[in-house]
Amino acid sequence: MSKEKDTGKIGIEEKIISFVNEEQPVYMGEIFKELRISQTKGLSYVISLINQGKLSYASNNQVLI
């Protein structure tokens, strides 16, 4: 069961990265709206990607690759 959960997490993270890559720079709210994920869940994924160095955070609440 945890393996299924891990693959789902990777899928969402890849979707976030590809969306930000296409629409760069993008507001965090646009990511949640476009991918149809909750703000709480989406924010945890975005923060995780920022901490991993895969995304950058701009001072005006925008996310960059």
Q: What is the CA radius of gyration of the chain?
A: 11
Tokens found for residue 50: 């920022």
- Residue 65 has what pLDDT? 67
The pTM of the whole model exceeds 0.75: yes
Q: What CATH class is the domain 2-64?
A: mainly alpha
Q: Which of 7-11, 51-55, 57-61 has the highest mean pLDDT?
A: 51-55
Whole-angstrom distance, CA of residue 4 vs CA of residue 48 = 19
For 7-34, write each residue's pLDDT tens digit.
Answer: 667 789 999 999 998 888 888 899 999 9
Spatial CA neighbour of 43 closest among 19, 21, 23, 63:
63
For 33-48, write each residue's pLDDT tens digit.
Answer: 999 999 999 999 999 9
**Domain ranges within the chain, ordered by starting residue:** 2-64
